Amino acid sequence: MTIESLVGLVPVAPLLAALMIAAIRLFDRSLSDAAERPTAAVATAGVAVSLLLLLILDAATLLQQLPDRVRLGIWLASGRFEVALSFALDTLSLSLGSLIALLCFLSLRFSVNNMHREAGFHRFFFALSLFAAGMLLIVLAGNAALSFIGWELAGVSSYMLIGYSQERAVATENAVRAFVTNRIGDAGFLVGIAASFQWIGALEWHRIGSGAAGLDTLSAGLIALGFVTAAAAKSAQVPFAPWVARALEGPTPSSAVFYGSLMIHAGVYLLIRLAPLLGHSGTAMALIVLLGVATALYGWLAGLVQTDVKSALSFATTAQVGLMFVECGLGWFDLAAWHLGLHASWRAYQFLAAPSYLQLVDGPARPVPHWLGKRRWLYTAALQRGWLEPAGDWLLLRPTRGLGRDMNAFDNQVVDRFIGIAEPARSLGTAAPVQAESGAVSRGYGSAGQLLEIVAAQLARFEAHLLLQGAGGTLRSTLAHTGDYLRAVEALLERPRYLLLLIMATFAVIL
Amino acid sequence: MGALPFLSLLLLIPVGGALAVWLWPQPARVRIVAAAAMGAELLVAIALVGCFDRSDPGFQHVERGPWIPSLNIEFLVGVDGISLLFLPLTVLLFIGVIVASWNFRRALPRLYYSLLLLQLAATIGVYCALDTLLFFLFWELSLLPLYFLVSLWGVGPNRRFAAAKYTLIMLASGVPLLFGFVTLAFNHAQVSGAALPGGLAFDLPTLLATPVSGSLQLIVFLLLLAGFAAKTPVFPLHTWLPALAMEGPVGVSALLVGLKLGVYGLIRFAVPLAPDIARELHWLLAGLGTVGILYGAVTALVQTNLRRMLAYAGLSHVGLVLLGIASFSIQGIEGALMQTLNFVLVAGGLFLLTGFLYRRTGSTDTVSLGGAIHSMPRLGGLFLLFLLAAIGVPGTSGFPAEFLLIVATLNSHTGAGLAALFGAVIGAGYALGMYRRIFLGPQTNPAVAQAHDLRPAEFGLALCYATVIVTIGFWPSLVLDLIAPAAKLWAGRVG
């Protein structure tokens, strides 16, 4: 066993710690002080082991130049598609990995006292250990798929910590919203992975970088677009930015590492890692600059009007991360990496010290700058945080929910009746399938049954009415009925959500 | 190899158990007999997995015996990598049903447990039958116990309707299935040129080797698809699923949601028996899948009842599996199989936990629940794990399956793949949104506040499922190695 293969244990140690905490808590549910000790010890030890291993690897790199990559085996193989247990040991991964392990260790140690006798003490340490594992996996993984695993683990642990106060409705709703927003980014990541597999045939970061040279601009741009979406969602760039403000519901130490210093930088890490790929797509670079500028402005403007310390810090972070995106978009990846490391360390300290600021800072909060106070519309925009969230709701959430309600009604009223026996409780009394007409032949259920019934009834009517009376009256009423149905369908189609659905369906067919 | 007739044992143990249930002197204790039979069944199933030769892609442990010799219908059973793992997982799910009904005093316990054991035998038969008519027999036999289980012991007021609806839809879809199999048998007689009763062939290996002309393939594929679609379920034939989820007895609905027999039928029979047409009609499968994903996900989003939400979520998940099959790639089929295996424990487990919740609070409606995790932390914690597995979060068995499926789909049907990603995003929304309304937030209902956490047996069962889910999540090659040779053969035959 060589020294570089130790890197495989780095994310495993906190993961094992998380599993151990979960196992202990499943069997021992006491909330005593004594029960806190093993949990805290396991969590701290897990991250400490990671830190130690990383320090050994750092030292080994300095002394004898380790290889840039190691491959420890295969995690998942299916035909040509394989996910290797490969890790990156270059300066970017090792330095960021060490920083992450150090910050996680410090905030865990901080939390042992800070979270003492909190109701969710054990949950907190479980989630934070899981987060440390995910975060370390993101930066140390040698391929996109392994990074993606860390990416999602970080998302899940952030869900658990935002919803930390389980009895509060606001906190838990924010947790769901943050997770769903993150999920959009995850979808982008998956597009990037699938496109890399399709066009480059590999998921290793260095192969994606080198393979991009042989791609046309469109393919490289599509791969980049997937990853950039992922990065923008995780780093709370402009269309996705509001989730980070909602995420502050979590306990302070977790806010420090998640949204102050570590998770919010994961997107920047992804961009730096993909620098060779992004270099082949000017459009992607321009998009990154655009997102970065918009986010920096958004964070700066909204940050000016915040009145509580955590929100102010959070918007400052958003603005800084926006600047890092700008740096990446301009091709200054080294600068972005330095910026990332320094900002992460400083912001972690600030967030952890945030509760003490209340005592340290004497006097009222700083007033809104004069020039902003004068421009009322700008002031409102800042207070409303650019209306990003209502816009997102209006564009995505409301149509989807509306569609859901329509589909649910459709399912109960139409599909259910069409297929078979509708349950009596849910079928409407007004629309009994068979009128007690004298001409009704028999009663049928479901589409097949009703088809039979209709055929029988029509034959009977054909004999009784049409042959005797001629077409006029019946035909007119049938046409009038059809007209009513068509009008109802048209009214539905005029709703924006169905327009959207039609456009989406067209896209699905074209692709 | 295989000195023991494993598959016959697997079929006979539950039947024997069902008889023993009636012979046992104390009716109140028959649950022990049922549990013992299930335990023995599980051991045999695990032994079968242990004796399985993982390098052989073909059928193993084949047992053959005459059944209706004049028509060449045989008793022919065997397993390969596709069907093997369904056996132990199915038994595990049935054990879960027993645990869920353990402390519940019900009328006619003998009938209940013997029906449950017969249902197990029929389900196992579906998974290992290699003769098409034998398969059809088990397929239809699996309807009967379920009808009585739901209509006699269901929890909802409309249980009779739900049971009748399910049985009627399934019986109706059985007709095209039988026609499809008979068409294939006659085709074999025609191709081999033998006289009619003698030339008929119903065994799968022979049928797979028999060439089928294009137009006949079209007929066969559509017939089989129509036969399997209802049980898969596919939109618009899914309405029995939410109905049974609401009306069925607590444990039994887990069987309906967890066991995706329709998907198995598609993979085992419909696609390999009409490979050329299946490949040509890839858009049909992909279209059904896409509609299922979107329809199920969007409808699940607005449900106010946990059980209905889970039913629609199941529809959405099956859509993704169909997309994986429609890709005809090795990643697609392996993902589809892994996901279907995953459902057994995840969807089944979610329904069992929902049942435990229902037993304690008398409701699964968001209106009357909320804050359940405060009084039932174990139930809530494990439920979250299962839910995360259902939406494919890493560290659970759902992740490798969904990952393979989405990669395969994005490469074969990009538009449908994007729809699947949209479904995954909404999936997080409906799953966690429902979790929030049921388990988190303030407690409003005194029944929730007084509810007890999981009993040891329930806890042990859920923990056992959770262990399997997490183990496969971290070590997917445990499953993939068993599936891979057969999946490669499958993909080679149709791809």
The residues in B 53-112 lying below 8 A from A, measured between CB atoms, are none
Structural contact between residues B457 and B102, judged by C-beta atoms closer than 8 angstroms = yes
Test the A interface: residue of B421, B439, B453 with most A CBs within 10 Å: B421
The DSSP call for residue A368 is P
Interface residue B419 vs chain A (CB under 8 A):
yes
Q: Identify the residue among A78, A393, A418, A421 best suited for mutation to test binding to B, counting B beta carbons within 10 A and taking the highest.
A: A78
Cα–Cα distance between B436 and A463 in angstroms, integer? 60
**Minimal Cα–Cα distance from A82 to chain B, Å?**
10
Shortest CA distance from A149: residue in chain B: B394
Cβ neighbours for B325, distance < 8 A, ≥ 6 positions apart: B263, B266, B267, B271, B285, B289, B332, B333, B336
Q: Assess B477–A contact: CB distance below 8 Å, yes or no.
A: yes
Best B403, B405, B494 member to test A by mutation, with max A CBs in 10 Å, is B403
ipTM of the complex: 0.91
Alpha helices, H only, B362-397? 372-375, 377-390
Query: Are the CB atoms for A129 and A23 separated by under 8 Å?
Result: no
Backbone phi, psi, residue A255, to 5°: -60, -40
**Which residues lie below 8 Å from residue A276, measured CB to CB, with a gap of 6+?**
A208, A209, A210, A212, A213
The CA distance from B157 to A162, in Å, is 40
Among the partner-chain residues A169, A405, A421, the one whose CB lies closest to the CB of B302 is: A405
Q: Three-state SS for A407? A: helix
Separation between Cα atoms, residue A133 and residue A46, nearest integer Å: 9
Task: Say if residues B320 and B390 touch (Cβ distance below 8 Å).
Answer: no
Closest chain A residue by Cα to residue B164: A421
Task: Determine if the peptide bond prior to B233 is cis (ω within 30°).
Answer: yes
CA–CA min distance A129, chain B (Å): 14
Nearest-CB residue to A167 (from B299, B335, B442): B442
pLDDT at A210: 87
Percentage of chain B exceeding pLDDT 90: 47
Q: Give the Cα separation of B59 and B322 in Å (integer).
A: 24
Q: How far is B311 from chain A (nearest CA, A)?
A: 13
Q: What is the DSSP string of B108-164?
A: -HHHHHHHHHHHHHHHHHHHHB-BHHHHHHHHHHTHHHHHHHHHHH-SSTTHHHHHH
Question: Distance from A202 to chain B by nearest Cα, in Å?
Answer: 12
Is residue B211 reached through a cis peptide bond, with omega within 30 degrees of 0 on the bond before it?
Answer: no
CB-nearest to A421 from B165, B418, B433 is: B165
List the beta bridge partners of residue A204.
A143
Q: Do A163 and B436 touch (CB under 8 A)?
A: yes
Is the Cβ pair B302, A408 closer than 8 Å?
yes
The two structure tokens encoding residue B482: 């068993």
pLDDT reported for residue A50:
95
Within 8 A of B301 by CB-CB distance, chain A residues are 400-401, 404
B295 CB neighbours in chain A (<8 A) are 407
Alpha carbon distances (Å) from B405 to A386, B2, B192, B318: 38, 34, 39, 11
| pLDDT tens digits for range B157-189 | 888 888 888 888 888 889 999 999 999 988 988
Taking the C-alpha atoms of residue A296 and residue A306, their distance in angstroms, rounded to an integer, is 16
Contact A167 B165 (CB under 8 A): no
Q: Quote the tokens at residue A169.
A: 């409705």
The tokens describing B99, both together, are 């645990």
How many Cβ atoms sit within 10 Å of the Cβ of residue B437? 23
DSSP label at residue B269: I
Q: Which residue of A has its CA nearest to B382?
A: A26
**Distance separating alpha carbons of residues A151 and A137, to the nearest angstrom:** 8
**Amino acid A443: pLDDT:** 54
d(CA B440, CA B384): 11
B432 with A175: Cβ contact below 8 A: yes
Using the structure block, give the residue that is written with the tokens 């990332």: A340
Candidate from A26, A404, A421 with C-beta closest to B164: A421
- Predicted confidence at residue A479, as pLDDT, reads 74
Q: Give the pairing of strands B73-79 and A81-88.
A: unpaired
Q: Could you read off the pLDDT of B421-453 as tens digits, one per residue?
A: 998 999 999 999 999 999 998 888 888 888 888
Closest chain A C-alpha to B142 CA, distance in angstroms: 20
Q: Which residue of B has its CA nearest to A410?
A: B299
Indicate the pLDDT class of residue B54, thresholds 50, 70 and 90: confident
Three-class DSSP category at B26: coil
Q: Which residue of A has its CA nearest to B474?
A: A75
- B179–chain A nearest CA distance, Å: 19
Is the pLDDT score of B492 beyond 60?
Answer: yes
Beta carbons of A183 and B433 less than 8 Å apart:
no
Q: Residue A287 is encoded by which pair of tokens? A: 């998009």
B317/B305 Cα distance (integer angstroms): 18
In whole angstroms, give the CA distance from residue A27 to residue A38. 14
Tokens of B180: 């499809």
- Quote the pLDDT of residue B40: 94
A446/B422 CB distance under 8 A: no
Nearest CA-CA distance, residue B201 and chain A, Å? 32
Q: From CA B486, how far away is CA B490, in angstroms rounded?
A: 6
Interface size A-B, in CB pairs within 8 Å, comes to: 182
* Shortest alpha-carbon distance between residue A101 and chain B (Å): 21
pLDDT reported for residue A464: 64
Cα Rg, chain A, nearest whole Å: 29
At residue A473, the pLDDT reads 56
Q: Where do the structural domains in chain B lie, given as residue ranges?
A: 281-495
CA-to-CA separations, B124 to B135, B249, B259, B368, in angstroms, rounded: 10, 21, 11, 38
State chain B's maximal CA–CA distance in angstroms: 74
What average pLDDT does chain B have? Answer: 89
Q: What are phi and psi of A306, to 5 degrees?
A: -75, 145
Query: Which residues lie below 8 Å from residue A86, measured CB to CB, with a gap of 6+?
Result: A69, A70, A71, A72, A141, A142, A143, A146, A204
The pTM assigned to this predicted structure is 0.89
Spatial separation of the C-alpha atoms in residues A444 and A460, rounded to whole Å: 16
CA B409, B411, B416, B417: dihedral to nearest 10 degrees? 70
What are the φ and ψ backbone dihedral angles of A183, each rounded to 5 degrees?
-65, -35
Which chain A residue is nearest to residue B475, measuring alpha carbons? A75
CA dist., res. B10 & res. B311, Å (int): 29
Digitized pLDDT (tens) for each residue of chain A, 511 residues in all? 678 888 889 999 999 999 999 888 888 777 777 888 888 999 999 999 999 999 999 998 888 878 888 899 899 888 888 899 999 988 899 999 999 999 999 989 988 888 888 888 888 999 999 999 999 999 999 999 999 999 999 999 999 988 888 888 888 888 999 999 999 999 999 999 999 998 888 899 999 888 888 888 888 888 999 999 999 999 999 888 888 888 888 787 777 777 778 889 999 999 999 999 998 888 899 999 999 999 999 999 998 888 888 888 889 999 999 999 999 999 999 999 999 999 999 988 888 888 787 777 777 777 788 888 888 888 888 888 888 888 888 877 787 888 888 888 888 777 777 766 555 544 443 344 444 444 444 455 666 677 777 887 777 766 666 545 544 556 667 777 788 787 777 777 666 667 667 767 766 666 6
Residues of A in contact with B57 (CB under 8 A): none
The 10 Å Cβ neighbour count of residue A72 is 15
Spatial separation of the C-alpha atoms in residues A148 and A184, rounded to whole Å: 13
Q: What is the pLDDT of residue A439?
A: 40
Q: In chain B, which among 270-299 make CB contacts under 8 A with chain A?
A: 290, 295, 298-299
Closest chain A CA to residue B247: A423
| Pairing of β A69-78 and β A81-88 | antiparallel
3-state secondary structure of A84: strand
**Among residues A477, A113, A500, A197, which one has the least CA distance to residue B404?**
A197
3-class DSSP state of A242? helix
Kindly identify which residue of chain A lies nearest to residue B236, measuring between CA atoms: A415
Rg (CA), chain B: 22
Q: By the CB < 8 Å criterion, does B398 face chain A?
A: no
B478 contacts chain A (CB < 8 A): no
Task: Name B1's Cβ contacts closer than 8 Å, sequence gap at least 6.
Answer: B51, B53, B60
Query: Which of B234, B338, B393, B470 to substitute to test the interface with A, most A CBs within 10 Å?
Result: B393
